[in-house]
Amino acid sequence: MLEKTALHLPQEKKMNLARLIANETNSQLDQIMLLRHSNYKTKALLQAGATIEEYTLVKPTNSKYDFLADGKPPIQVIVAIVNERIHAVYKIAGVERVGTTRTLVSGNFRQFDIQQGYPELPAKLFRAEQLSSAWLGQSIRGWTSPRNAVARNGMRLFDSVEVD
């Protein structure tokens, strides 16, 4: 008589996004930031004729988004996530210019910023190189807090984001 046995399927291998990007870019985990853009705001941004690159690389000074914020490890690699997919991977090459969130951007972005009701703040425009990545376009899972747009090393969210 045949005994019923549980079907043993290979367990799904978890692929932590930050670790994959660290390996691919030869970076330390504390040099990586995962940056998730709001689906609603991205749609409004594109309708205004602005770009996701501009949205990614102009950051208020010393905010949680600032790649070179005082008192935090400098960020060298940004993983931009749009609509739950990896949109771009950037290597930060320093600050191109300083100004404000209204003076460092295009007219279309400025209009978007005003329509969103954001205040004008001191800001940095970062110089960056868009990197080729095997993970571009891949969907992500594990971003449990839609209100938290930034994940850095040491945050539980940073460790929970995975690539499908």
In a domain, 12, yes or no: no
State the Cα angle at 138 between 134 and 141, rounded to 5°: 130
In a domain, 141, yes or no: yes
Count of domains in the chain? 1
pLDDT along the chain (164 residues), means of 10: 44 80 96 95 95 97 96 96 96 97 97 95 98 96 83 92 91
In a domain, 146, yes or no: yes
In a domain, 9, yes or no: no
Which phi and psi (to 5°) does residue 83 adopt? 50, 45
In a domain, 66, yes or no: yes
In a domain, 121, yes or no: yes
Q: What is the pTM of this model?
A: 0.88
Domain housing 55: 17-163
In a domain, 2, yes or no: no
Cα(91)–Cα(135) distance, integer angstroms: 15
In a domain, 46, yes or no: yes
